[in-house]
Amino acid sequence: MKEEMKDVITNRFRELVAQGQQLVKRINRNDSFISSHEITPAQAWLSSVSNLLQTASPADSFFLSESKTLMTHENMKHGIPSEIVLKMLGLLVSAQQEWEGGLMRRIEYILAAETFDNFLDHAETYHKGNKKIESAILASAVLEDTVKKVCLKNSISTKGQSLESLIDELSKAGAITPVKAKRIKAFAGVRNHALHAEFDDFDIKDVGEMIKGIRELIEDYL
């Protein structure tokens, strides 16, 4: 699903850039506002671009904030300024270059977070049913994958490294605090016991804390 979503977004960038280029060709740049018969396609295009940037960009992205500024410009109350369309096309082309260069792929982490949440929901169901082993094993898998995703997001290689060493690398890089690292290592301890069938070395409360901690890790760092 992740690769399919990337392809959808990549193709949508290309479609909207092509549409925008055609729209700009029809605009009389000597006019402050586009002609009345171009308002409907121009508004549809602007809305689609805004939606795409919202989907593909981080919440604090320049592209997202700039598109919002353009869409709420004072002159938009009186029609669609030619300058707004031109600037939005420039913004879209720049965003497309960043996306295709791999520098704006937050969607990858959004999808990962959604998947992890689904697994954690199942782990939580087992936890509520007092099924310690099932809950711990599911949560353990999510913990490792989440830490690896956070590492990749922070340009930290995960190849050949243990979970504990990855947590250390995140702390060294300043991606997480030492206190947070210590807490995640405690969850890693529960994970190690669960994966080695040492089920007497942790209790149902430990699993509950791990699930809660993993959710926080996903929300704060993915």
What is the phi/psi pair of residue 176, to 5°? -135, 160
Residue 105 has pLDDT above 60, yes or no: no
Burial of 40 (0-12, 13-18, 19+ CB in 10 A): exposed
Residue-level pLDDT at 218 = 85
Average pLDDT value for residue range 72-87: 89
Band the pLDDT of 171: cuts 50, 70, 90. Answer: very high
DSSP string, the chain: -HHHHHHHHHHHHHHHHHHHHHHHHHS-TTSSB--GGGHHHHHHHHHHHHHHHHHHS-TT-HHHHHHHHHHT-GGGGGS-BHHHHHHHHHHHHHHHHHHHTTS--HHHHHHHHHHHHHHHHHHHHHHHTT-HHHHHHHHHHHHHHHHHHHHHHTT---TT--HHHHHHHHHHTTSS-HHHHHHHHHHHHHHHHHHTT-GGGS-HHHHHHHHHHHHHHHHHH-
Q: What is the pTM of this model?
A: 0.52
Please list the residue range(s) of the chain that carry CATH number 1.20.120.330. Answer: 106-221
Give the mean pLDDT of 98-109: 66
Question: How confident is the model at residue 112, as a pLDDT?
Answer: 59
What is the maximum alpha-carbon separation in the chain? 78
By C-alpha distance, which of 126, 137, 117 is closest to 214? 117
Residue 118 banded pLDDT, cuts 50, 70, 90: confident
The fold of the 106-221 domain, in CATH, is: Four Helix Bundle (Hemerythrin (Met), subunit A) (1.20.120)
209 vs 205: CA distance, rounded Å: 6
- Per cent of the chain over pLDDT 70 is 90
Predicted pLDDT of residue 1: 42
172-195 confidence digits (pLDDT tens) = 999 999 999 999 999 999 999 998
